[in-house]
Chains A and B, each alone.
Chain A
Amino acid sequence: MNEVGGSIHPIWLRATHWLNALAVLIMVTSGWRIYNASPLFDFKFAKDLTLGGWLGGAILWHFAAMWLLAANGLVYLLCNVASGRLMHKFLPPSPRAVLADLLAALRARLTHADPRQYNAVQRAAYLFVIADAVLLVLSGAVLWKSVQFPLLRELLGGYESARRVHFFAMAAMVAFVTVHLAMVALVPRTLLAMIRGR
């Protein structure tokens, strides 16, 4: 359960983290180009921020990177559960602890003395983004195969509803990444830990 040699992040975690980062980058930027073909809301994403050049190219990227996102996510979840890391590192984040740590963070009084320990806000945020990624994959599966996955389609309220779920789950993912990158900028040694393991 504890990693050897003072390692903060085991190698499987670092590998799946960076593969996931690549998959999310491709999925979000190609997804924005697909969104632009038929916007749900009264705005489009700036074309320079999108991937694929045109709808057909964006779809090629999106439906290729989806396999990386899903397969890598599955490996991550299996390793996380099998190693006991999920229980050990993330659970249970009590609402009171999350609130206390959030207030401490906002007052810049949250300690990073032991990077092996996730504080309650981190636990909540990481659990949230795992659930969000699962929701993105499931709602994406409905958009891709709405006829072949009837149960999933009805659970998400039908095809048009699944489009909105997929959009807002994307927005939540982008919001997480924004905060995540800001936190890394504030505590740069967390980036080193995610690269070399300690």
Chain B
Amino acid sequence: MVKKPLRRLALDGDAVVKQALRRLPQPARRLFLRRTLTLGGLSLLSGCAIVDEDSAEHALMQVSRFNDRVQGWLFDPKQLAPTYPESMITRPFPFNAYYDEDEVPEVDAANYRLEIGGLVADKRAWTLAELQALPQTDQVTRHICVEGWSAIGKWGGVRFSDFLARVGADTSAKYVGFKCADDYYTSIDMPTALHAQTLLTLSYDGQQLPPRYGFPMKLRMPTKLGYKNPKHIQAIFVTNTYPGGYWEDQGYNWFGGS
């Protein structure tokens, strides 16, 4: 169904690190995180290795979990992200992923099936045509990246709360998780999933969503940072078990709200 191009080794330093991270098994990756967390960090503060690195990382992750709870509490389901006139759209809208643009997965539209799982009544898979037949809406909003930059774009698609209602999702569950064709995965809180501006996006700027922006479908949330907006979604599941995420498991804040 999905043809993934061979990953080529990038020369850019950050990309090399990302590449290396992807190839490390989980325990080694954690070790890597620990080392990078403290490089130039604790040594800067303490001048030597007197601070226990494990407990420092543990404490920072504890605060990050606390920040998840604070953000959940601050999140106002009725508070809308600002929208902009089409004249303010950033052109070209930047490509962004954990890999280079020439590594974007090619998803075959005809064979595409969106799998639905977990705490939902109707687990039937969806074809792209079926998704396109649902009522659509669009919005021009600001995409904010965890790196700090932002760009304005126009996304269109199905209101995610409508879709969740249609498949009979248990909206009292805690999480909605996503698995993607580019091996990316992430998860969000249910209140954000039900937010009026959270879109199961099928189009960009009036055109079918191009591969570089997540064909055939991405989840677009102007209330969350870019890395929380998964592209090339293949499976959606509703759960009460914390699913984590590609970047979140390496130390990015899970809630990632704005």
Contact = CB atoms under 8 A, between A and B. Distances in A.
A49 to B, nearest CB: 8
A60 B248 CA distance: 11
Contact of A57 (B37, B148, B150, B222): B37
B222 A60 contact: no
A159 B64 contact: no
B156 interface: no
B145 interface: yes
Interface string B246-258: 0100111100011
Contacts of B37: 52-53, 57, 60
Contacts of B146: 37, 55, 59
Nearest to B222: A147
Interface string A156-194: 001110010000000000000000000000000000000
Given A56-B250, A60-B37, A145-B74, A29 B148 contact: no
B126 interface: no
Interface in A51-70: 51-57, 59-61, 63-64, 67
Contacts, number: 102
Interface size, A (range): 35 or more
Interface of B: 17, 33, 35-41, 44-45, 59-61, 63-64, 67, 71, 74-76, 79-82, 142, 144-150, 222-223, 247, 250-253, 257-258
Given A56-B251, A146-B142, 14 more contacts: A29-B44, A34-B148, A37-B147, A38-B149, A52-B41, A53-B37, A55-B147, A56-B252, A57-B33, A60-B37, A64-B60, A64-B63, A145-B258, A148-B74
